[in-house]
């Protein structure tokens, strides 16, 4: 990379990071509707990740050294689940900064390509971000000589989608999957396209494939910053349960976190929903979640609700993950591991974006149980059959902190 090219990328990086901050401010102030916010946030985040990757192509292996996940798993004291009800997931800026160390895996990267090809891809990324139609032609010049370049195919496909040519974009994505089903980037785009078309089950399947492809921590951060998992979670809820979440959210201020007031409103609505439909597994799990609040927590009631949900749907991944999280928080690690083992054979829980996925929970348990002082330093927690009046001893892992 020439000094001039690096200077241009650094300038674009500063512009994108500033734009993301401005975007967050405008949305929080109510000056932008959610759809425009999500669209712009997705584009800014993806492009910022690409720029950071170009500026630091060799730092992928060290990206997780200071990862917030490692700090969380090192602590035996977990914190109550919190959620931002506007757009959930990590803040866009945090996702972009972690993406500083991102990069493709060796079998999918262009490490064997010439410097000219690298420069071409960098040029196409910049062009496509600003003018998708011109980006399509730019990527095509690469594909004319390297027709199986995964990055060119994937990002040309996304340029097609952004240029209102979703069929051509899908054809590119399909070709990438044929060449390498484990290529993580394309799964995100396929999931996004499916969610936009309101095919939430297909989007969920693509996200499951994404997480199964051993994506880099940076790729996960970028995905989570887009709010895509949130959209899929709510899209797959039954209408009654989704309505309760929406009703409870109306009592929240814009950008306010997961408060006890919200949980109480959610629980009241779900109680009424279950009177009409006592076999509603979605409502049972959501009600169980509402029982573990930042101020008031009833672990026994939550576990009873989850047991009922699993009677209705024995392999309901969301119920298994929440039950495992509560078991781990009560230091019942064997029970937690039993549910985690079951989760290995079912699709990724949709509730993962709220409380952390099975991988995060497994790492948390391993960190606690393998620590030399684990047996002596872990405080005794109340029995799961005893109702607690505070949230202090019913904490569950949460990837978003708080």
For the stretch 232-252, pLDDT in tens is 999 999 999 999 999 998 877
Please calculate the CA angle 17-18-19 and round it to the nearest 5 degrees.
90
Q: Which of 177, 211, 226 is the last residue of a domain?
A: 226
Tell me which residue of 239, 320, 323 sits closest to 277, measured CA to CA. 239
Which residue, chain included where needed, has tokens 């959209």?
Answer: 231
Tokens of 364: 């948390």
Return the pLDDT at 56: 67
Higher pLDDT pick, 17 / 395: 17
Return the pLDDT at 53: 66
Band (162; pLDDT cuts 50, 70, 90)? confident
d(CA 373, CA 396): 21
Asked whether residue 152 carries a pLDDT value surpassing 80, the answer given is: yes
Return the pLDDT at 391: 39
Are residue 175 and residue 237 in the same domain, yes or no? no
Asked whether residue 29 carries a pLDDT value surpassing 80, the answer given is: no
Are residue 312 and residue 215 in the same domain, yes or no? no
Print the domain residue range for 25.
3-57+91-226
Return the pLDDT at 301: 96
Q: Which of 175, 206, 226 is the last residue of a domain?
A: 226
Q: Which of 179, 196, 226 is the last residue of a domain?
A: 226
Are residue 125 and residue 235 in the same domain, yes or no? no
Are residue 262 and residue 219 in the same domain, yes or no? no
Cβ-Cβ contacts under 8 Å for 7 (sequence gap 6 or more) = none
Return the pLDDT at 115: 53
d(CA 364, CA 208): 21
Asked whether residue 68 carries a pLDDT value surpassing 90, the answer given is: no
Higher pLDDT pick, 204 / 23: 204
Are residue 283 and residue 238 in the same domain, yes or no? yes
Are residue 247 and residue 285 in the same domain, yes or no? yes
d(CA 289, CA 67): 27
Tokens of 311: 């009677």
- What CATH number should be reported for the domain holding residue 350? 1.25.40.10
pTM score of the predicted model: 0.66
Length of the chain counted residue by residue: 402
Kindly list the distances between the CA atom of residue 353 and the CA atoms of 144, 226, 316, 401, in Å, as whole numbers in the listed order.
40, 12, 16, 12
Q: What percent of the chain has pLDDT over 90?
A: 44
Average pLDDT on 114-137 reads 82
Average pLDDT on 68-93 reads 26
Q: Is 293 left (phi over 0), alpha (psi -120 to 50) or beta?
A: beta
Tell me which residue of 344, 360, 363 sits closest to 352, measured CA to CA. 360
Cβ-Cβ contacts under 8 Å for 335 (sequence gap 6 or more) = 324, 327
Are residue 10 and residue 77 in the same domain, yes or no? no
3-state SS, the chain, equals CCHHHHHHHHHHHHHHHHHHHHHHHHHHCCCCCHHHHHHHHHHHHHHHHHHHHHHCCCCHHHCCCCCHHHHHHCCCCCCCCCCECCCCCCCHHHHHHHHHHCCCCCCCCCCCCCHHHHHHHHHHHHHHHHCHHHHHHHHHHHHHHCCCCHHHHHHHHHHHHHCCCHHHHHHHHHHHHHHCCCCHHHHHHHHHHHHHCCCHHHHHHHHHHHHHCCCCHHHHHHHHHCCHHHHHHHHHCCHHHHHHHHHHHCCCCCCCECCHHHHHHHHHHHHHHHHHCCCCHHHHHHHHHHCECCCCECHHHHHHHHHHHHHHCCCCHHHHHHHHHHHHHCCCHHHHHHHHHHHCCCCCCCCHHHHCCHHHHHHHHHHHHHCCCHHHHCCCCCCCCCCCCCCCCCCCCCCCCC
Whole-number CA gyration radius for the chain: 22
- pLDDT tens figures, 312-362: 999 999 999 999 999 999 999 999 999 999 999 999 999 998 898 999 999
Mean pLDDT (the chain, rounded): 75
Which residue, chain included where needed, has tokens 């051509």?
Answer: 168
Q: Is 79 left (phi over 0), alpha (psi -120 to 50) or beta?
A: beta
Please calculate the CA angle 196-150-145 and round it to the nearest 5 degrees.
125
- pLDDT tens figures, 185-242: 899 989 988 998 899 999 999 999 999 988 877 778 777 777 889 999 999 999 999 9
| Segment of 64-78, 150-164, 373-387 carrying the highest mean pLDDT | 150-164
Are residue 234 and residue 219 in the same domain, yes or no? no
Kindly list the distances between the CA atom of residue 264 and the CA atoms of 85, 248, 251, 292, 297, in Å, as whole numbers in the listed order.
15, 8, 11, 10, 11
Asked whether residue 42 carries a pLDDT value surpassing 70, the answer given is: no
Are residue 372 and residue 312 in the same domain, yes or no? yes
Are residue 183 and residue 294 in the same domain, yes or no? no
Q: Hey, CA dihedral for 103, 106, 107, 111, is it positive or negative?
A: positive
Tally the domains of the chain: 2
Asked whether residue 384 carries a pLDDT value surpassing 80, the answer given is: no
Return the pLDDT at 387: 38
Are residue 45 and residue 79 in the same domain, yes or no? no
d(CA 150, CA 145): 13
CA 319 to chain centre: 18
Cβ-Cβ contacts under 8 Å for 69 (sequence gap 6 or more) = 217, 360, 363, 399
Are residue 31 and residue 64 in the same domain, yes or no? no
Average pLDDT on 83-108 reads 27
Higher pLDDT pick, 104 / 11: 11
């Amino acid at each position: 990379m020439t000094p001039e090219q690096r200077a241009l990328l650094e300038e674009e990086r500063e512009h994108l990071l500033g734009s993301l901050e401005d975007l967050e401010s405008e949305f929080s102030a109510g000056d932008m509707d959610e759809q425009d916010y999500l669209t712009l946030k997705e584009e800014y985040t993806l492009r910022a990740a690409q720029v950071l990757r170009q500026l630091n192509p060799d730092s992928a292996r060290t990206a997780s050294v200071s990862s917030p996940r490692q700090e969380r798993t090192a602590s035996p004291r977990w914190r109550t689940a919190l959620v931002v009800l506007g757009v959930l997931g990590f803040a866009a800026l945090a996702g972009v900064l972690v993406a500083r160390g991102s990069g493709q895996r060796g079998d999918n990267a262009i490490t064997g390509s010439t410097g000219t090809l690298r420069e071409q891809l960098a040029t196409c990324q910049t062009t496509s971000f600003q003018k998708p139609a011109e980006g399509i032609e730019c990527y095509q010049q690469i594909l004319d000589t390297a027709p199986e370049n995964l990055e060119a195919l994937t990002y040309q496909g996304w340029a097609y989608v952004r240029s209102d040519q979703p069929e051509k974009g899908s054809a590119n994505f399909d070709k990438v999957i044929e060449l390498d089903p484990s290529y993580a980037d394309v799964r995100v785009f396929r999931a996004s396209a499916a969610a936009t078309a309101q095919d939430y089950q297909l989007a969920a399947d693509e996200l499951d494939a994404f997480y199964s492809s051993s994506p880099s921590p940076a790729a996960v951060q970028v995905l989570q910053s887009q709010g895509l998992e949130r959209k899929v979670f709510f899209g797959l809820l039954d209408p009654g349960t989704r309505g309760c979440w929406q009703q409870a959210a109306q009592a929240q201020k814009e950008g306010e976190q997961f408060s006890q007031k919200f949980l109480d409103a959610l629980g009241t609505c779900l109680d009424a929903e279950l009177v009409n439909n006592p076999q509603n597994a979605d409502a049972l799990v959501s009600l169980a979640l509402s029982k573990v609040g930042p101020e008031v927590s009833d672990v026994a009631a939550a576990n009873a609700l989850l047991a009922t949900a699993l009677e209705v749907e024995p392999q309901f991944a969301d119920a298994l993950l929440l039950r495992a999280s509560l078991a781990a928080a009560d230091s019942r690690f064997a029970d937690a591991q039993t549910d985690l083992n079951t989760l290995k054979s079912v699709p990724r829980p949709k509730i993962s974006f709220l409380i952390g996925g099975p991988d995060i929970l497994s790492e948390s348990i391993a960190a606690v149980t393998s620590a030399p002082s684990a047996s002596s330093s872990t405080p005794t927690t109340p029995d799961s059959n005893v109702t607690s009046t505070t949230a202090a001893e019913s904490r569950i892992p949460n990837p978003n902190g708080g």
